[in-house]
Amino acid sequence: IRNPLTVISCIAEEATDEKTFHSLQVQIDRIDDLITRLDYRWSESQKVLMFLKTHYQIEISETRDDS
């Protein structure tokens, strides 16, 4: 997701006026922040899962909802 955001940012900088670019950049930064927070939470959830598996022998099946 970050690579397309970088491309969008570069195109916006070249193709739009400064006000529009600033508006787009604010939204791009918000999306990037959300991704960063998701990455962090994913890391934390993996640590919890490993703790449960190690200390409580709990097996959690990984299911995917592809609908």
Number of folded domains that form the chain:
1
Q: Which among 65, 5, 57, 54 is positioned nearest to 30, based on CA atoms? A: 5
Q: At what angle do helices 2-15 and 18-56 cross, to 10 degrees?
A: 170
- The answer to whether residues 21 and 12 touch, using CB atoms and an 8 Å cutoff, is yes
Q: Please give the pLDDT value at position 42.
A: 86
Q: Which two tokens stand for residue 18?
A: 């400064």
Specify if 43 maps to a domain.
Answer: yes
Question: Does this model's pTM top 0.85?
Answer: no
Count how many residues are written for the chain: 67
Query: Which range of residues forms the domain containing residue 20?
Result: 2-56
Specify if 65 maps to a domain.
Answer: no
Specify if 63 maps to a domain.
Answer: no
Distance of alpha carbon 63 from the chain centroid: 20
6-49 pLDDT, tens digit per residue, is 999 999 999 889 999 999 999 999 999 999 999 888 888 888 88
Specify if 61 maps to a domain.
Answer: no
